[in-house]
Amino acid sequence: MSCWRPGLRKKLLPYLDGVLTPPEHSSVEAHLLGCVSCREALWRIRMGRRMAQQIPRVSPPETSEAAFRALAPRVTAKAEDRSRRSWSWPDCLERFATPRVVLILAAVIIVQLAFFALFSRKVLLGERSLSSNGISYSYLHGFRSISIQDIRLDIQPHIATEGYVKDVHLNRSEGVIAFRLVSQPNAMKPFVVCEILRPMQLTVPEDGSHVRVYGVSRYDAQRNHDWYEVNPVLGIAQLPR
């Protein structure tokens, strides 16, 4: 599905770089809640940047001016000869089988294998289902995993945290479904408040269920609140109790 807001789509890279104005930042986040295409694009940009940062820099060997001049006629003759011939399969391999291309392809394969291994591990460990309003698992995997007690130290907006559900209720005045997430089944603290916006078609977890929540980390400083939130919740994964 294509995005109907190309102007906002162009702001995804500045959004990741943190250079947008506060109104622009809020506008992009609001758009991401309802646009699957832009959420997928944001995930691809984030993963591509991470992969690019892992590729080592390659410096060309030092070559004297005399050696370069001696090689120049041979390079020119070879280029002219190639231009006169039609492309063949060996030519394609020779043109593209450079160390940099091979390194990039190897990095792509390693990243894909890592995603596959992580997904298989989660299935084997019993993570049974993921409710995400059309957001792919690969997108949610890019969120930073953090414990409930460490959310107060977090500086990243997109997080994943897990715990046990307490006090599921509908806040009619704000139009959200909210619940507390605690680190232990019978504990009351530490906790984080999770809020599901009404448009998000997420399966609401039951009290006492063990879940992993994906969403945006915030601090609610309103009167009588003074707590940390995952708001909005973008995905909920059921975990074994």
Tokens 């020119």 belong to: 76
Q: Which long-range contacts (CB under 8 A, 24 or more apart) does 218-226 make?
A: 220/193
- What pLDDT score does 126 carry? 45
Rounded to the nearest angstrom, the gap between the alpha carbon of residue 212 and the centroid of all alpha carbons in its chain is 16
* Nearest residue to 57 via CA among 97, 98, 100: 100
Q: What is the pLDDT of residue 83?
A: 59
pLDDT in tens, 47-69: 887 777 777 776 666 655 666 66
Task: Give me the pLDDT at residue 138, please.
Answer: 59
Q: What is the pLDDT of residue 175?
A: 76
Q: What is the pTM of this model?
A: 0.48
pLDDT digits (tens, 9 = 90+) for 144-175: 899 999 998 888 888 999 999 999 998 777 77
Name the 3-class secondary structure at 46.
Answer: helix
CATH architecture, domain defined by 131-239 = Beta Barrel (2.40)
Quick one: pLDDT at residue 88?
55
- Per-residue DSSP letter, 202: P
Phi-psi region of 208 (alpha: psi -120 to 50; beta: other; left: phi over 0): left
Per-chain mean pLDDT for the chain? 77
Q: How far is CA 109 from CA 54, 93, 98, 103, 219, in A?
A: 13, 19, 17, 10, 38
Gyration radius (Cα) of the chain, Å:
25
Q: Is the peptide bond before 240 cis (omega within 30 degrees of 0)?
A: no
Residue 180 pLDDT exceeds 90: yes
Domain with CATH 2.40.50.140 in the chain: 131-239
pLDDT of 229 reads 92
What are the structure tokens assigned to 76, written together? 């020119």
Q: How far apart are CA 143 and CA 215, in angstroms?
A: 8
> What is the predicted pLDDT for the residue at 55?
78
pLDDT (0 to 100) of residue 211:
94
pLDDT tens-digit map of 5-52: 777 778 888 888 888 888 888 888 888 887 878 888 888 888 887 777
By mean pLDDT, which of 13-27, 55-69, 87-101, 225-239 is the weakest? 87-101
Q: How far apart are CA 35 and CA 228, in angstroms?
A: 26
Position 36 scores a pLDDT of: 79
Query: Is the pLDDT score of 92 beyond 60?
Result: no
Q: CA 26, 28, 31: angle at the middle one, nearest 5? A: 110
